[in-house]
């Protein structure tokens, strides 16, 4: 089987409401999605998606994905998409780094490989759990009253996992954490996501003030060096996501004990092939995981769900449904949807969801 054609589509995915990153320091209203259609000489077509969480969040942006695909296309054309390692090496040779540009091609290849094998991607990767995965909410930086309102709305839809965005003002963060903990219901999973919003001293002040609550923080500071520096000075479990980009990052975090949880974001780390290695490093070191898209449509959510399904149930805390935060739906009625706060692994071969091509407009680029 050979890759014969790569078509690239750009779609705007407006957010249901403007999103303020932790600390209120960044606002955006629309996601720039890149959809990639890979055709083969066997008549099997695969789809991939790359949708960064805006362009101000981490070093990744929509136009960068499309430029990267233009550069990499000649190197992957003619390869067998089922041989995902060969495609990965070709992309790494063509364009060192730029992992976020590679993930949509990797995803489309896994989709093709799954269809060719007659297996959902998770089963092709070695076996997918059918346990429904709790979807984490995203509770933006708000007042205590607004935080309760937003969490209540999510609870009414069945959500048991919440990512509460904090970071910035120490006193306000401590007050919000204590309030949310008093509001927490038994069995709820709550992650306090700082999104790199604290300096080291701010992180330590909040972590010390909330020590008795035994809460978990995600990405408390900007870099792994910051997280390492404060590590011996507090006792809170830490999840790392923005600083978990490469396999080397994963190895360092595991070896040096910098975090107890990995927040694996598929687009950021370069797709399923690379993320599966991070999963294995995590499992080998007693590190639990959240697995999510960086953003995007039901396709991106579905890709993350496949990886999540390959993790033992006890080690995967939650997934995410970015589809619930956007107003556009490029695959109406298809793929894994939020059912009472959970996503269910699709049983169809490959990814399990393709977009309605009529909703994507004309391709912005075609190679092959
Ligand atoms: Mg996060």
Q: What distance in angstroms lies between residue 194's CA and the mean position of ligand 1's atoms?
A: 7
Q: Do 101 and 138 belong to one domain?
A: no
Q: Do 175 and 193 belong to one domain?
A: yes
In a domain, 261, yes or no: yes
Q: Do 188 and 331 belong to one domain?
A: yes
Is 5 considered catalytic here?
Answer: no
Q: What distance in angstroms lies between residue 347's CA and the mean position of ligand 1's atoms?
A: 29
Give the domain CATH number at 268. Answer: 3.20.20.120
The predicted-structure confidence for 96-137, as pLDDT tens digits, reads as follows 999 999 999 999 999 999 999 999 999 999 999 999 999 999
Check residue 349 and give its pLDDT.
98
In a domain, 349, yes or no: no
Under the banding of pLDDT at 50, 70 and 90, the label for residue 152 is very high
Give the domain CATH number at 89. Answer: 3.30.390.10
Q: Do 134 and 105 belong to one domain?
A: no
Across all residues in the chain, what is the average pLDDT? 96
Q: Do 177 and 163 belong to one domain?
A: yes
Q: Do 7 and 56 belong to one domain?
A: yes
Q: How many helices (H) does the chain have, and how many strands (E)?
A: 12, 13
Name the strand (E) or helix (H) holding 13. strand 3-20
* Domains: count for the chain: 2
Q: Do 19 and 60 belong to one domain?
A: yes
Check residue 101 and give its pLDDT.
98
In a domain, 313, yes or no: yes
Q: Do 94 and 186 belong to one domain?
A: no
Name the percent of the chain lying above pLDDT 70. Answer: 98
Q: What distance in angstroms lies between residue 195's CA and the mean position of ligand 1's atoms?
A: 5
Domain that holds residue 98: 3-118+357-367
Residues 6+ apart with CB under 8 A from 238: 216, 217, 218, 220, 227, 231, 258, 259, 260, 261
Q: Do 44 and 7 belong to one domain?
A: yes
Under the banding of pLDDT at 50, 70 and 90, the label for residue 228 is very high
Catalytic hit among 102, 265, 274, 334:
265
Q: What distance in angstroms lies between residue 339's CA and the mean position of ligand 1's atoms?
A: 23
In a domain, 351, yes or no: no
Q: Do 332 and 269 belong to one domain?
A: yes
* In the predicted structure, residue 25 carries a pLDDT above the cut 70: no
Dihedral sign, Cα of residue 351, residue 356, residue 357, residue 361: negative
Check residue 23 and give its pLDDT.
57
The predicted-structure confidence for 59-91, as pLDDT tens digits, reads as follows 899 999 999 999 999 999 999 999 999 999 999
Q: What distance in angstroms lies between residue 218's CA and the mean position of ligand 1's atoms?
A: 6
Q: What distance in angstroms lies between residue 164's CA and the mean position of ligand 1's atoms?
A: 9
In a domain, 287, yes or no: yes
In a domain, 348, yes or no: no
Is 165 considered catalytic here?
Answer: yes
Residues 236-240, mean pLDDT to the nearest whole number: 98
Q: Which two tokens stand for residue 151?
A: 């969490």
- Please indicate whether residue 160 or residue 57 has the higher confidence score (pLDDT): 160
Q: What distance in angstroms lies between residue 263's CA and the mean position of ligand 1's atoms?
A: 7
Q: What distance in angstroms lies between residue 59's CA and the mean position of ligand 1's atoms?
A: 15
- Please indicate whether residue 17 or residue 35 has the higher confidence score (pLDDT): 35
Q: CB atoms < 10 A from the CB of 135, how many?
A: 29
Q: What distance in angstroms lies between residue 256's CA and the mean position of ligand 1's atoms?
A: 21
In a domain, 302, yes or no: yes
Catalytic hit among 165, 185, 208, 334:
165
In a domain, 212, yes or no: yes
Q: Do 193 and 173 belong to one domain?
A: yes
Give, in order, the Cα–Cα distances in Å from 230 to each of 175, 243, 250.
Answer: 22, 15, 18
pTM of the model: 0.97
Under the banding of pLDDT at 50, 70 and 90, the label for residue 202 is very high
Q: Do 188 and 319 belong to one domain?
A: yes
């Amino acid at each position: 089987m050979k890759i014969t054609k790569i078509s690239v589509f750009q779609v705007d995915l407006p957010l249901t409401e403007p999103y303020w990153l932790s600390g209120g320091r960044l606002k955006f209203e629309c996601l720039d999605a890149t959809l990639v259609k890979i055709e083969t000489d066997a008549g099997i077509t695969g789809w991939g998606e790359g949708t960064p969480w805006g362009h101000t969040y981490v070093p990744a942006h929509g136009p960068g994905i499309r430029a990267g695909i233009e550069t990499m296309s000649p190197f992957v054309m003619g390869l067998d998409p089922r041989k995902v390692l060969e495609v990965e090496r070709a992309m790494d040779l063509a364009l060192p780094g730029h992992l976020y540009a590679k993930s949509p091609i990797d995803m489309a290849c896994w989709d093709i490989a799954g269809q060719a094998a007659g297996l959902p991607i998770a089963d092709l990767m070695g076996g997918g759990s059918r346990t429904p995965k709790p979807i984490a909410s995203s509770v933006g930086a708000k007042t205590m009253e607004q935080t309760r309102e937003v969490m209540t709305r999510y609870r009414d839809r069945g959500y048991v996992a919440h990512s509460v965005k904090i970071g910035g003002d120490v006193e306000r963060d401590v007050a919000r954490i204590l309030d949310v903990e008093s509001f927490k219901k038994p069995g709820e999973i709550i992650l306090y996501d700082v999104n790199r919003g604290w300096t080291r001293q701010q992180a330590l002040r909040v972590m010390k003030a909330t020590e008795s609550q035994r809460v978990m923080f995600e990405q408390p500071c900007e870099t792994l060096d910051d997280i390492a520096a404060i590590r011996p000075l507090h006792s809170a479990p830490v999840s790392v996501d923005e600083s978990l980009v490469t396999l080397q990052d994963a190895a360092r975090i595991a070896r040096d004990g910098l975090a107890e949880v990995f927040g694996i974001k598929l687009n950021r780390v370069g797709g399923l092939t690379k993320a599966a290695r991070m999963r294995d490093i995590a499992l080998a070191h007693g590190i639990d995981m959240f697995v999510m898209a960086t953003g995007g449509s039901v396709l991106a959510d579905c890709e993350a769900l496949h990886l999540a399904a390959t993790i033992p149930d006890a080690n995967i805390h939650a997934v995410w449904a970015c589809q619930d935060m956007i107003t556009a739906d490029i695959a109406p009625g298809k793929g894994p949807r939020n059912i009472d706060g959970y996503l269910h692994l699709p049983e169809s071969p490959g990814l399990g969801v393709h977009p309605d091509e009529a909703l994507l407009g004309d391709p912005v680029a075609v190679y092959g």
